[in-house]
Amino acid sequence: MGRLHTPHGTIDLPTFMPVGTCGTVKGLTFDQVAAAGAQIVLGNTYHLALRPGPELVAQLGGLHQFIGWNKPILTDSGGFQIFSLAQMTKITEAQAVFRSHIDGSQLELSPERAVRIQEQLGSDIAMVLDHVIGLPATYAAVEEAMERSTRWAARCQRAHQRSDQIQFAIVQGGLDPGLRRRSAEQLVSLEFPGYAIGGLSVGEEPAAMYETIAATCPCLPVDRPRYLMGVGTPRDLLEGVLRGIDMFDCVMPTRNGRNASAFTDSGQLKIRNSCYRDDPRPVQADVETPQSHLSRAYLRHLFMAGEMLGPILLSLHNVAYYQRLMRQAREAIAADSFLEFYNRRLAGWGAGDSRDDSD
């Protein structure tokens, strides 16, 4: 177990970062996010550059002040949008050129521009701009994107000026262990304060992702944070911790919550299912939120009635569940019993809830 110190507070590792892409964790106030146990949240350069714009955020005191969150913030550079918005993106050695998903206007995002935007936002941790491609892809395409990511990382490092903001590099290389090791070695030689593993959870099987993490982590310094980007399920988090990952982010807790799916130690509950119509139990008794005592029957009622409170409450539960999982992982590491904890959780998720049959 480690700790990461930032100007806005210390983060206990391993940790999970709720995703606040546009300056909000969907459906939740930041007071709720903090009460759920989150120590750090994530924002996104591409989305915040489009609206409201980094100049406005800087004018209003920076992202912490703008969104009302006084704990650490990590900002993603926009590299994931190179993958997710590939149909509207052109890549050159100089930069990525996007067509806005909002109005079709053009956004030019070079490594230097990505750094400048994140400095205007004032995040505690800024990510370098990387070239993310979908999988499967040819070896040549993966290698080209990996090498470009290394060159862009060096440009980001040269452009970075804020002394109160640290910068993480991003290892690329698809599912090829040799490319991942080469990428890691190149980036480690540049001596960044932290390193991320990017370009996963983009179409590959979970087993392939776990193998790639296992091949990459030993190439990264043990005294620097290791961040697995955009991942994932509760099992993915524990598989990552087992292999040496310190930090995670994913939209899954809130996305699933909005769609009536709750994470528990017995797997996911599909709260719209009729088996919960008269179920008096809470979603999970020891996941604490101000509304954690409410019954599954009531939560189902909210979704069936189309009430917005249902998605809010399940989103809050899921964020709290992920934070509880990371807290338990830290405690198990401190007690030298992580493997026992890992096996116990996997057994529970595999067993499932016998009442949660599909309608």
DSSP secondary structure string for all residues of 19-80: B-TTSS-TT--HHHHHHTT-S-EEEEHHHHHHTT-HHHHHHTT-HHHHHT--S-EEEE-SHH
Sequence ranges of the domains in the chain: 14-250, 256-351
CA distance 106 to 192: 31
Q: Which of 76, 130, 265, 356 is catalytic?
A: 76
User: Which pLDDT belongs to residue 3?
Assistant: 97
Name the CATH superfamily, with its identifier, for domain 14-250.
Queuine tRNA-ribosyltransferase-like (3.20.20.105)
β-pair type (73-76, 89-91): unpaired
The residue to which tokens 């955020």 are assigned: 57
The residue to which tokens 């053009």 are assigned: 106
* Whole-number average pLDDT of the chain: 95
Mean local confidence (pLDDT), 170-198: 98
CA distance 128 to 62: 19
Q: Kindly tell me if the per-residue pLDDT of 354 is higher than 80.
A: no
Contacts of 300 (CB under 8 A, 6+ apart): 271, 272, 273, 276, 277, 279
What is the reported pTM?
0.95
User: Which pLDDT belongs to residue 83?
Assistant: 73
User: Which pLDDT belongs to residue 135?
Assistant: 86
* pLDDT bucket at 358, cuts 50 / 70 / 90: very low
Rg of the chain on CA atoms, in Å: 20
User: Which pLDDT belongs to residue 98?
Assistant: 81
The pLDDT tens digits of the residues spanning 10-41 come to 999 999 999 999 999 999 999 999 999 999 99
The pLDDT tens digits of the residues spanning 79-112 come to 888 777 777 788 999 998 888 788 888 888 999 9
Mean local confidence (pLDDT), 62-76: 98
- Smallest CA-to-CA distance from 173 within 162, 185, 161, 164 is with 185
The alpha carbon of residue 32 and the mean position of all alpha carbons in its chain are separated, in whole angstroms, by: 18
Q: Kindly tell me if the per-residue pLDDT of 116 is higher than 50.
A: yes
Q: Residue 191's CB: how many other CB atoms inside 10 A?
A: 10
- Helical segments of 88-247, H only: 111-121, 139-159, 177-188, 206-216, 234-242
User: Which pLDDT belongs to residue 93?
Assistant: 96
Q: Is 249 a catalytic residue?
A: yes
- Amino acid identity, position 16: F
Q: Which residues of 210-227 are buried (b: 16+ CB within 10 A; e: fewer)?
A: bebbebbbebbeeebbbb
* pLDDT bucket at 353, cuts 50 / 70 / 90: low
The pLDDT tens digits of the residues spanning 155-172 come to 999 999 999 999 999 999
CA dist 254 to 24, 89, 261, Å? Answer: 11, 27, 9
Q: Residue 277's CB: how many other CB atoms inside 10 A?
A: 12
Q: Is 279 a catalytic residue?
A: no
User: Which pLDDT belongs to residue 352?
Assistant: 66
The pLDDT tens digits of the residues spanning 175-184 come to 999 999 999 9
Q: Which residues pair with 197 in a beta bridge?
A: 171, 228
Q: Which of 236, 246, 249, 279 is catalytic?
A: 249
Mean local confidence (pLDDT), 267-292: 95
